Structure formats: structure tokens, C-alpha cells
Amino acid sequence: MAEHYSSFDRKGTRWFLQRVTAVFLIGVLAFHFMLLHFVNHAAEVTFLGTQARMQQVGYFGTMVAFLVTATFHGVNGVYNALINQGLDGSQKQAVKWVLIVASAILILQGVRTALYMAGIIA
């Protein structure tokens, strides 16, 4: 029988955070679908409505947390999948830093957009 292999150390922080972020994302996605697909139907979602929602501190905080959590969860999953495929050495380091920089750019642009939508920056 084949032995189970995973690059995740089950006692490690990245393994734990992958599970915690998954639970958080499931909850926030349920909130998103309920609010933007059942309470407000897609045809009713407008730019002004989005701005109004983003001006609420709780909604704004939830969306920024969603952005950061989803970015970490996705990048961490991709990185570990690549390690499971045999990525190591200098290639592993290069991929790690490319993913870190790409994540930082994504989060900075997402927060900038959220701040704009909330009317905090112009």
C-alpha cells in the first residue's frame, strides 16, 4: 500500500493555518452568497451600493480579512502542491519569493481598492 506523503508538517503552523483559513473562507463565502445573491440579487448590486456597504466598519473589515485570508490560503496551497511535486533547492526558493511578492502586490492593491470604495482615499 502506498504511503501517504504531504509537504505539510501536521504539527506545523502552515498546516494549521491552511485549515483555519479554510473554515473562515467557508463562513465568509456563505455570508457573501447570502448577502449578494439572495438578499440583493446580482442585477441590484451597484457601485453605489458597494460603496455604502464598504463604509460600514464591520463589512469593510470582513472584506479585507477575506482578501488576506483567501490570498494566504490559495498561495499556501499552490506552494505546497509544488513542493509535493518535487520542487526543491533554488527553484523552491525562487517560487517562494515570487509567490510572496505576488501576494503582497495582490493584497496591497486589494486594500487600496477597499479604501477607495470606502471613501477613505480618493
Distance CA 78, CA 93 (A): 14
* Residue pLDDT, tens place only, 8-59: 667 788 889 999 999 999 999 999 888 888 887 778 888 898 899 999 999 9
Q: Could you tell me the pLDDT band of residue 6, with boundaries at 50, 70 and 90?
A: low
Distance CA 14, CA 98 (A): 18
| pTM to 2 decimal places | 0.85
pLDDT, position 15: 87
pLDDT, position 5: 61
* Residue pLDDT, tens place only, 57-104: 999 999 999 999 999 999 999 999 898 889 999 999 999 999 999 999
Domain spans in the chain, listed from the N-terminal domain onward: 13-117
pLDDT, position 7: 62
Other C-beta atoms closer than 10 Å to the C-beta of 14 total 14
At 85, the amino acid letter reads Q
Distance CA 48, CA 46 (A): 5
**Integer Rg of the chain from CA:** 18
The CATH architecture annotation of domain 13-117 reads Up-down Bundle (1.20)
Distance CA 114, CA 63 (A): 8
pLDDT, position 14: 87
